[in-house]
Amino acid sequence: MRRRVRLVLATWVVIALAAFLVRCAVAPNVEVVEPPNYMAQGLSASEREQLFHLAEGSEVFPLSWMRALESEQTKQPFLLHLDRFGLLPDPDDPNGLPVGMTVELTSDTRFLGEPMVGVNCAACHVGEIRRGKQSLRILGAPNMFDIEAFFTDLALSIIATTKSAPKLVGFLRRLSAEPKGPAIRVETKKMLETSEDTEALRKKGELGSEIASRLDVIVDESSRGRRQVGEAKVAPLDSKPKPSPTSPELGDKLERLLPQQQDGALLGGAEPSEQRNVVKDFFSHISETLRLLQSRAALMERIGATRVKTPGGFGRADAFGSARNLIFAPEEMRAKTAPVSFPAIWGFGDLDWLHWDANTNSVVERNMGQAIGLGAVFDGKTFESTVQPRNLHRLEVLARRIAPPRWPEDLLGKIDRERAARGKVVFQKNCATCHSPESVHDRKRPYEEVGTDAERAQHFSEPLASGPFPDALSGFLAKIKAKAYEMHGVTDAEAKEFEMGRVPSRWRGTKCYVERPLVAVWATAPYLHNGSVPTIKDLLLPAEKRPRKFWVGHRDYDPEALGYSAKKVEGDFLFETILAGNSNAGHEYGIDLPESDKLDLIEHLKGE
């Protein structure tokens, strides 16, 4: 069973990838990407590509299906210009996918044997800064990925396809042209090839018109039976393949019209004796595709569109709000109001506790939770999942080897060493108490003391009806881990290696925020745990003088302020500090320093 699950999952990813490859090969409008610049950060080029594309278990959509899907937002192929979600193009990937997108065969029996597109940690933890026409890609830096927008547009694009017979026929027509798309009857494929949409069918006589009308009914009935966004049921990961739906009844009118269709042109060239079966197969294919599309849309909604009160935008996510809504019963769902920034991950292997609120010591369970939050499929009864423990461990090993980036003087200008030396003294007097090398240990402060936004610290500790949320999350992830180890044959020795000495695994609600060293902090803007302050220069101001609104999404860097420039670029997201979870208050340290000391401190942080 384990092998079958893995095969199904991998197949889904492969199909999604194959579709993208075909589009790259034939479509003239695929974007051309200039090779990015990298600095030495401890990984070879091949290891870097593995970090970018190794599947961790996320299974978003079959590759061929994603290639055939039209974006509801852009009205273009969904896979075209994924940089609209903050994903970084990767011209070195043979599959043409951006950094952080993966392709793997699936073990999900609904898509057995299909390559599936997924998302991994690099989508959030590989950043890029730009100065003029030059750019620098930084491993381990927070990226501008808008997770909610990605999954929401995917969900809405799928839903739009299922609610319109013309769109559905167009999708199926494109899918049938994919070299590695799902297997369908030759005649069904020919019918799709010759019918751009239902209107084209209606122009082919009374039989074609009746087939088009029947399609409208199937789509309409399917749409009426679907729940509202955020309430659709996510189908569990199946342990056994489901049989194909029973062949539909054709109805009196079709039964009467079929014998009159002597040449078989409309029905893919089928002989008269086979035409009835061809039409039934055609409608079965439509119905099965609708069922699978709606199942995936439900999962995409739960990850992206469900109960969002404060949008994360570029570079942030309310991961544990999503976990609550995705994993537990519907009555436990709540509005997501606590998006936080993706942290830098260099040096995280030295940390005793992880996340902004130091809520866990477990790298394994943390990473498995991340995989589920990015689209890994799981069965809430058996705890079977598409999570890949060995790949997660490999990604963990690679991530721990990422060295902090050095200030790129060729791109951002030389450091004033005299000013930086004076800034080091300022740092030692004003910042080192909290941001010393010892801050890797369990050092944290209550959010009331720091004064920063309380939403994340409070909501992680908000209990479920059954008890404390940290306990429930810990119990769920422990079961996912145990079943994943069983499914993949992970030995005791491997399991011990994966834990990296962090045993027993613990989850806790701290109602605190951590103190951390400020190594290469210049590459981690915007600042504070919720990304509410755009630059270090702004952070050294009293809270009431910090920007109340600013634009995020572009990568143009301001080396004087240590953050992204204040200009607005098309497609940017407006960050509003008045929204729940977005407060820029607190951390008012160094605000009374003379301006010259602030400038010295900023210069020191460039080389910290």
265 and 289 within one domain: yes
* Domain contains 437: yes
Q: Which distant-in-sequence residues (6+ apart) come within 8 Å of 525 by Cβ?
A: 534, 535, 536, 562, 563, 564
356 inside domain: yes
Residue 427 forms part of a structural domain: no
Beta bridge partners of 62: 116
Q: What is the DSSP letter of 70?
A: B
Asked if residue 336 and residue 197 are part of one domain, the reply reads no
Residues 240 and 292 in one domain: yes
Task: Indicate the SS3 state at residue 571.
Answer: coil
- The single residue listed with the structure tokens 């881990």 is 481
Report the C-alpha gap between 579 and 519 in whole angstroms: 30
Measured CA to CA, the distance from residue 118 to residue 100 in angstroms comes to 8
Same domain, 508 and 531: no
Residue 367 lies in a domain: yes
* Domain end marker among 461, 483, 513: 513
Whether the CB-CB separation of 582 and 530 falls below 8 Å is answered with yes
Q: Name the residue range of residue 166's domain.
A: 160-303
Residue 279 lies in a domain: yes
Same domain for 266 and 348, yes or no, is: no
pLDDT averaged per 10 residues in sequence order, the chain, 608 residues: 38 34 32 75 96 96 93 95 96 90 84 86 97 95 97 95 91 87 82 77 84 87 62 44 53 80 74 84 88 89 85 96 91 93 97 97 97 93 96 98 97 97 98 95 96 96 94 97 98 98 96 97 98 98 98 96 94 97 98 98 95
CB atoms within 10 A of CB 505: 17
Q: Determine the residue type at 572.
A: D
- Decide if 46 is inside a domain: no
Three-state SS at 535: strand
The answer to whether position 255 is within a domain reads yes
pLDDT in tens, 521-551: 999 999 999 999 999 999 999 999 999 999 9
User: Do 331 and 474 belong to one domain?
Assistant: yes
Q: What phi and psi, each to the nearest 5 degrees, are found at residue 134?
A: -95, 150
Tell whether the torsion through CA atoms of 556, 560, 563 and 565 is positive or negative: negative
Comparing C-alpha atoms, which of 402, 372, 521, 344 is closest to residue 51?
Answer: 402
Total domains in the chain come to 3
In terms of domains, do 205 and 222 share one? Answer: yes
Domain boundary among 462, 479, 513: 513
d(CA 549, CA 572): 12
Q: What's the rounded Cα separation, in Å, for the pair 602 and 518? A: 12
Do 279 and 344 fall within a single domain? no
The reply to whether 445 falls in a domain is: yes
Q: What is the model's pLDDT at position 239?
A: 40
Q: Are residues 592 and 499 in the same domain?
A: no
Note whether 269 and 174 are same-domain residues: yes
Residue 263 has a pLDDT of 60
Residue where one domain finishes, among candidates 268, 303, 338: 303
Cα–Cα distance measured from residue 328 to residue 399, given in angstroms and rounded to the nearest whole number: 30
Q: How many CA atoms lie within 13 A of 57 on its CB side?
A: 29
Residues 366 and 445 occupy one common structural domain: yes
Specify whether 351 is located in the same domain as 497.
yes
Gap between the Cα atoms of 223 and 290, Å rounded: 9
CA distance 119 to 525: 23
